[in-house]
């Protein structure tokens, strides 16, 4: 009996220690997606609600999914100025413009895992540069 206990102890310990490792995959994965034309139309529509006459989205739109929700960062031109707009969409909902800046996106509005998947450059604090 002692011999069985001595032989099985390392296996029991290994199984206990491996449990946290086997739990990998519980975290949401960021998906960098190719933007479809109908998504661009939906983003334009969402932004035009509060900014009629805006032109865009301009080339260089970022689009992805994290934890079941969709995110997009797009540039629009309005009155001769370019604006970077962050959009958010829950499943079965419409796109909403949630933030607007000159040229950055921050982790307040887009998960950092998705920002990393887009390879945006850190500018300081919680913000990242959106290339023009």
Q: Is 51 helix (H, G, I), strand (E, B) or coil?
A: coil
Inside any domain, residue 86: yes
Whether the predicted pLDDT of 59 surpasses 80: yes
Range of the domain at 40: 30-129
The distance of Cα 75 from the centroid of its chain, to the nearest Å, equals: 16
Overall pTM surpassing 0.85 (yes/no): no
Count the domains in the chain: 1
Which residue in the block uniquely carries the two structure tokens 């949630």?
Answer: 98
DSSP code, position 65 = E
Q: What pLDDT, in 10s, does the model give residues 8-50? A: 455 444 444 444 444 455 678 999 999 999 999 999 999 999 9
Inside any domain, residue 108: yes
Inside any domain, residue 90: yes
Inside any domain, residue 84: yes
Inside any domain, residue 114: yes
Q: Name the average pLDDT for the chain.
A: 86
Share of the chain above pLDDT 90, in %: 77
* Segments in 1-132 forming alpha helices (H): 2-22, 37-48, 112-117
């Amino acid at each position: 009996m002692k011999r069985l206990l001595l032989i099985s102890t390392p296996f029991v310990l290994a199984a206990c220690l491996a449990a946290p490792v086997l739990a990998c995959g519980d975290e949401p994965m960021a998906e960098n997606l190719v933007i479809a034309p109908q998504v661009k139309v939906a983003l334009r529509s969402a932004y035009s609600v509060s900014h009629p006459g805006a032109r865009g989205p301009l080339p260089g739109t970022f689009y992805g999914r994290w934890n079941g929700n969709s995110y997009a960062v797009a540039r629009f031109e309005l009155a001769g100025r370019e604006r970077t707009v962050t959009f958010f969409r829950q499943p079965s909902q419409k796109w909403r413009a949630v933030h607007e800046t000159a040229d950055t996106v921050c982790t307040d509005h887009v998960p950092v895992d998705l920002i990393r998947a887009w390879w945006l450059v850190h500018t300081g604090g919680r913000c990242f540069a959106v290339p023009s």
